[in-house]
């Protein structure tokens, strides 16, 4: 199971690298949109919508990488004082809870994405982006990556790492 966990973590790393590029493109797009709007009074609906689509992709694809790297917000008021076995138990419980919540998001979003695809949902604004279902499809994909990351994390925890930080790459 550990080689499979390593494979999943490597894939999450590659997705994390992709999100870094998405962030760079988004920053460039926002800068160009602001420059065009305020310097030349030129705006574009599709470019503004693309900013939001890139932000959604950044968040949904990047959250598994952020959790893998320990980038989530944690309050360790008591945790740091717990003995190692209790820390491991808390980490396992937290991973299982995150998996359950992620699976709920996946289940709830499948019909949402399917409906959007079935009606070929597009932007309501003239000049907006088509294929709104494609960005909505990132919801189950992003949470699926989070489930995979947490399963890999569980494998490492149950294999005997001392803490959550030790099991993260």
Summarize pLDDT for 35-53 with one digit per residue, the tens.
999 999 888 889 999 999 9
Domain boundaries, the chain: 2-72+81-167
- Block mean pLDDT (10 aa), the chain, length 169: 85 93 96 93 90 95 90 77 90 94 97 95 89 94 96 89 45
**What are the structure tokens assigned to 160, written together?**
């005997």
Residues 25 and 54 sit within 8 Å (Cβ to Cβ): yes
Instruction: Specify the pLDDT at position 80.
Output: 83
**What is residue 51's predicted lDDT score, i.e. its pLDDT?**
94
Look at residue 6 in the predicted model and tell me its pLDDT: 85
pLDDT of 165 reads 45
This prediction's pTM? 0.85
3-state secondary structure the chain: CHHHHHHHHHHHHHHHHHHHHHHHHHHHHHHHHHHHHHHHCCCCHHHHHHHHHHHHHHHHHHHHHHHHCCCCCCCCCCHHHCCHHHHHHHHHHHHHHHHHHHHHHHHHHHHHHHHHHHCCCCCCCCCCCCCHHHHHCHHHHHHHHHHHHHHHHHHHHHCCCCCHHHHCC
Centre a 10 Å sphere on the Cβ of residue 83 and count the other Cβ atoms it contains. Answer: 8
The pLDDT of residue 161 is 60
First-last CA distance in the chain? 16
* pLDDT for the residue 60: 95
């Amino acid at each position: 199971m550990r080689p499979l966990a390593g494979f999943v973590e490597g894939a999450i790393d590659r997705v994390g690298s992709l999100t870094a590029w998405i962030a760079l493109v988004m920053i460039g797009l926002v800068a160009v949109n602001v420059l065009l709007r305020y310097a030349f009074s030129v705006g574009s609906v599709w470019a503004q919508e693309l900013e939001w689509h890139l932000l959604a992709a950044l968040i949904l694809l990047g959250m598994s990488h952020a959790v893998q790297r320990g980038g989530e917000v944690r309050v360790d008021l008591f945790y740091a004082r717990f003995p190692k076995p209790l820390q491991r138990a808390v980490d396992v419980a937290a991973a299982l809870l995150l998996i359950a919540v992620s699976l709920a998001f996946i289940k709830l979003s499948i019909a949402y994405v399917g409906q959007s695809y079935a009606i070929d949902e597009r932007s309501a604004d003239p000049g907006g982006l088509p294929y709104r279902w494609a960005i909505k499809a990132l919801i189950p994909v992003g949470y699926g990556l989070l489930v995979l990351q947490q399963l890999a994390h569980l494998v490492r925890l149950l294999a005997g790492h001392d803490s959550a930080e030790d099991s993260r790459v």
